[in-house]
Amino acid sequence: MDEKQIIQDFPIFHQPDRNGKTLCYLDSAATTQKPLSVLEAMDTYYKTYNANIHRGVYHLSELATEAHETTREKIRAWIHARSTTEIIFTRNTTESINLVAYSWGRKNLNAGDHMILTEMEHHSNLVPWQILAEEKGVELDFIPITDAGELDLEVYRQLLEKHPKLVCATGMSNVMGTIPPSKEMISAAHAAGALFLLDGAQMVPHMQVDIRDLDADFFAFSAHKMLGPTGIGVLYGKESLLEAMPPFLGGGDMIKKVHLRSFSANDLPYKFEAGTPAIAEAIGFGAAIDYLAQIGMDAVFEHESEITRYAIQELMKIPGLKIIGPLTSSNRGSAVSFTLDYVHPHDVAQILDRENICVRAGHHCAMPVHERCNVDASTRASFYIYNSLTDVDRLIDGLKIVHQLFGQD
């Protein structure tokens, strides 16, 4: 994979330098940049066949409907789902998880039931369940994080003895980069009689995913973390589960019939897609999948692993710097969070910004992870296909400036 060639496809990297520096974007775990093919696909829709979908019988509407549903098929193939009926469009990963909590959770969970979560979760996979637990009296149990930044699977096995109804876990930590053994965890949950929801927001952009092989019952991810636009995400659910779940939102397109005092819900997947969808965003999503397919996800993961390995090696040379999470790049994602014991992460990020280096600073919507590590916040650098070892060198040079300003030798 030639990142120098790839970067030519991203208009944002060709803008004028800032402070005499080219853009060094290291915040792809928050959102990725967009290649020209994605932008052009959305622009073409708006310029040449802009129309609402599904209900129009005229030519423009048929073109828009075909493009929208073609993306649904691309997503099905991308994650190896059985049918497009299992692919629900949402606004993002957060909405996908909330859909499961509000629809499946409120129908199937009752007072005294147990759920298992992990200390590693993004707030999007914590707060919906906390709301549900308070409302319904559900008991929440948590798999702890070990000192090495992994999930404690021995405790997980013990928690499964409580016969939980549902297990929810991330496929890749957005703070630590940790990749839990999802397939093993899902198999264990099923053996204990539990369903499994897998948060794939940080997983799908970086590696091949075969949802049938993993056997997750629910799977959520977003377009904007994999070169696509914001405002569109996906909930995968096994068809039998989705069929039994009540609608999440009411309105147009999720109905088959409506009378003044009753309605009948539409077939899957439209049953969960009320109102006019994000049509242009779906088309851009499809273009993003096409772009990544040309590169190949094995090449993506290998490229990121090389950069992450080098980044960890060089970061550990900075005085007072501590990496949160695994210190090896094997079976690890490309998000690398760290602290400097003599400077706040916000100050780190501001100084790096002067060098036109974009990193994240804060709790990254994962406060419990930081509580577990006894820190209030961290700085996060996250890498993607358009990054190179040179970007790591720029990060290190920027941190040397931070050290010169704040460090105590």
For CA atoms 65, 66, 70, 76, the dihedral sign is: positive
- Classify strands 114-118 and 139-143 as parallel, antiparallel or unpaired: parallel
**DSSP-derived 3-state class of residue 301:** helix
Cα end-to-end span (Å), the chain: 40
Retrieve residue 165's tokens. Answer: 């109804």
Residues 6+ apart with CB under 8 A from 65: 53, 54, 56
Q: How far, in Å, CA of 309 to CA of 94, rounded?
A: 30
CA dihedral 242, 203, 207, 378 (to 10 degrees): 180
Dihedral, 67, 72, 73, 77 alpha carbons, nearest 10: 140
Q: Exactly one of 24, 168, 358, 365 is catalytic; which is it?
A: 365
- Measured between alpha carbons, how far is residue 400 from residues 74, 312, 320, 334, 387 in Å? 44, 15, 11, 22, 20
Task: Check if 365 is active-site.
Answer: yes
Q: Is the peptide bond before 164 cis (omega within 30 degrees of 0)?
A: no
Token look-up 């990254």 returns: 364
Picking from 249, 247, 261, the residue whose alpha carbon sits closest to that of residue 104 is 247
Q: Would you name the residues annotated as active-site residues?
A: 365
